[in-house]
């Protein structure tokens, strides 16, 4: 591989990288090299939707990051799982099909990013989407990434829906329409009982192309430059450093933690930080690693008085056998769905014009996402603030690419975020205390014996956790934004031949799960790179 060259090098085979590899290599005249630090996606736990609980902790498939001690979380370090395999986090995530609100993308546009408004991005969402039920004008049934409906109603979700209706939240069969507010079942990124990662949807159909070269177990050290133009990358493969050259562009799709890390290791970032580690400064770009945003979830756990939870099936050999047979014979049942079936978007703050919180209703309970289920019948209402004001940052702590960067989340750093979290927990508890859901509940396991706003906030600080949506650390923006790393075509400022295409490019966090927005971003970026839309 040493000194082999390709037209395009894509760093990171995750939610965005697999899309780019497919779209850029569609033209046989383009040679593409896709570089992934993790292994191939061969683990059966990746492809079985409920396998999420296994991949959550597997160091072969998961970077298993930890934040720095967070003042807003009583100095706790928060576990941040990120995918380390073909498909990236789309191979280990919770499978939920959410785009966000149209207002999110109009905000991107209004922040000085032409081409990223709702009307601009909708065609790319649809280009990606293969929906089993929903069609025009807002959906498509022909795209590679599958969005499947949950086929069987669950008694707990049905009661949850009825209770939310009584509290003024309308039922919906589509969280991705023009008004996100509602309660219902999520659609999932699955197909015929299997996970549909971007590796399955985009990479598998393209991997036989002669002009696409896929490298796994290859850690990128840095981007190489000549006269401020990106000309290649340095990688470590089986302990040996190698160079791969790019004739046209290097594209970082390593995610909101590692794309800024690679830029900083390459000499692009805050000059003071780079000099601290004796890294030659290619371009002083202070925004690299700044603007970190994430969704903070608060998990309320309840014990049920009926054996209708997934806990009951998982806690007995008969239940496990039944689940296995349902999947083997019909590609159905809990194994084909994963963890979260029910969703809810609503407003809890007076000034919110659109939903400001999201629920993930899990038909099981555990101390943390992906943890061992409780021995009793239980369920979890996980609630998060959709558009937090708090901002953190990512900064290298070594010039060694194998040392993870420091991640400062700064959760609950603003009064508004603290008030929204308190209001979100209150709304969740109100749901649990309202009929007909109340009649199913034996007791509140968590937070329990918490009443005042101060006590609720302390619960949030002591038990809050990520819902796995870090974004914003290489934000796109106009020239007059001193922290904008990218222009609206996702090109890195101050250099040539280098782009960032992943969640780190997002100036603000979408209102919901981030996998589909990452796919949309890459779909549109591919057209920008190939010159098929004006940049």
218-226/229-237 β-pairing: antiparallel
Cβ neighbours, 10 Å, residue 406:
16
Gap between the Cα atoms of 43 and 95, Å rounded:
17
Q: Is 389 helix (H, G, I), strand (E, B) or coil?
A: coil
Known binding residue 220? Answer is: yes
| Contact partners, residue 490, CB within 8 Å, separation at least 6 | 476, 499, 500, 501, 505, 525, 528
Residue 156: is it exposed, middle or buried by C-beta count within 10 angstroms (0-12/13-18/19+)?
A: buried
Helix (H) / strand (E) containing 131:
strand 129-131
**283 included as an active-site residue:** no
Please tell me which residue in 139, 283, 374, 469 is annotated as part of the active site: 469
- Cα of first residue to Cα of last residue in the chain, in angstroms, is 33
CA 516 to CA 509: how far, in whole Å?
13
Placement of tokens 């059966």 in the chain: 44
DSSP bridge partners of 302:
379, 444
Cβ contact 196:190 at 8 Å: yes
Which residue(s) pair with 362 in the sheet?
A: 340, 380
Length of the chain counted residue by residue: 535
How far apart are alpha carbons 522 and 490 in whole angstroms?
A: 10
Eight-state DSSP code of residue 68: P
Q: What is the DSSP letter of 213?
A: E
CB 129 within 8 Å of CB 166: no
Pairing of strands 441-446, 406-408: unpaired
Angle between helices 453-463 and 415-432 (to 10 degrees): 100
Peptide bond into 469 cis (omega under 30): no
Distance CA 294, CA 316 (A): 36
Please list the active-site residues: 469
Q: Which residues are part of a known binding site?
A: 220
Q: Which residues are part of a known binding site for FAD?
A: 220
């Amino acid at each position: 591989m040493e000194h082999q060259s390709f037209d395009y090098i894509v760093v990171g085979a995750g939610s965005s990288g697999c899309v780019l590899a497919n779209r850029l290599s569609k033209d046989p005249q383009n040679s593409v090299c896709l570089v992934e630090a993790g292994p191939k996606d061969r683990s059966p736990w990746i492809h079985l939707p409920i396998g999420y609980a296994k991949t959550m902790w597997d160091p072969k498939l998961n970077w298993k990051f930890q934040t720095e001690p967070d003042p807003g979380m009583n100095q706790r370090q928060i576990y941040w799982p990120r995918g380390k395999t073909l498909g990236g986090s789309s191979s280990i995530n919770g499978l939920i099909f959410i785009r966000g609100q149209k207002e999110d993308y109009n905000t991107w546009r209004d922040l000085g990013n032409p081409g990223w408004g709702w009307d601009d991005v909708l065609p790319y969402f649809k280009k990606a989407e293969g929906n089993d039920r929903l069609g025009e004008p807002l959906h498509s049934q022909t795209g590679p990434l599958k969005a499947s409906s949950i086929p069987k109603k669950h008694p707990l979700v049905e009661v949850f829906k009825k209770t939310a209706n009584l509290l003024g939240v309308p039922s919906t069969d589509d969280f991705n329409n023009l008004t996100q507010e509602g309660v219902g079942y999520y659609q999932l990124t699955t197909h015929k009982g299997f996970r549909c990662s971007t590796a399955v949807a985009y990479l598998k159909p393209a991997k036989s192309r002669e002009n696409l070269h896929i490298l796994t177990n290859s850690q990128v050290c840095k981007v190489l430059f000549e006269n401020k133009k990106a000309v290649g990358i340095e990688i470590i493969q089986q302990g040996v450093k190698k160079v791969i050259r790019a004739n046209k562009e290097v594209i970082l799709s390593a995610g909101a933690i590692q794309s800024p890390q690679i830029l900083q290791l390459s000499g692009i970032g805050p000059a003071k930080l780079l000099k601290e580690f004796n890294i030659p400064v290619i371009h002083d770009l202070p925004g690299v690693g700044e603007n970190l945003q994430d969704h903070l979830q608060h998990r309320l756990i309840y014990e049920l008085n009926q054996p209708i939870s997934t806990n009951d099936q998982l806690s007995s050999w008969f239940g496990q056998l039944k689940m296995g047979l349902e999947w083997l014979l019909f590609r159905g049942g809990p194994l084909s769905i994963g963890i979260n079936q029910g969703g809810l978007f609503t407003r809890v703050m007076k000034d919110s014009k659109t939903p400001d919180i999201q629920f993930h209703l899990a038909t099981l309970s555990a101390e943390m996402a992906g943890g061992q289920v409780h021995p009793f019948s239980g369920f979890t209402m996980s609630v998060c603030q959709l558009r937090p004001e708090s901002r953190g940052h990512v900064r290298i702590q070594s010039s060694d690419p194998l040392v993870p960067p420091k991640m400062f989340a700064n959760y609950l750093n603003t009064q508004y975020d603290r008030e929204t979290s308190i209001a979100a927990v209150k709304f969740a508890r109100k749901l649990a205390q309202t009929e007909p859901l109340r009649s199913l509940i034996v007791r509140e396991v968590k937070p329990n014996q918490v009443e005042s706003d101060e006590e609720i906030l302390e619960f949030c600080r002591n038990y809050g956790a990520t819902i796995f949506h870090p974004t914003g650390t290489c934000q796109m923006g106009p020239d007059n934004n001193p922290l904008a790393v990218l222009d609206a075509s996702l090109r890195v400022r101050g250099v040539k031949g280098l782009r960032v295409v992943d969640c780190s490019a997002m100036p603000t966090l979408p209102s919901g799960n981030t996998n589909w927005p990452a796919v949309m971003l890459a779909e549109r970026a591919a057209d920008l790179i190939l010159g098929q839309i004006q940049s």
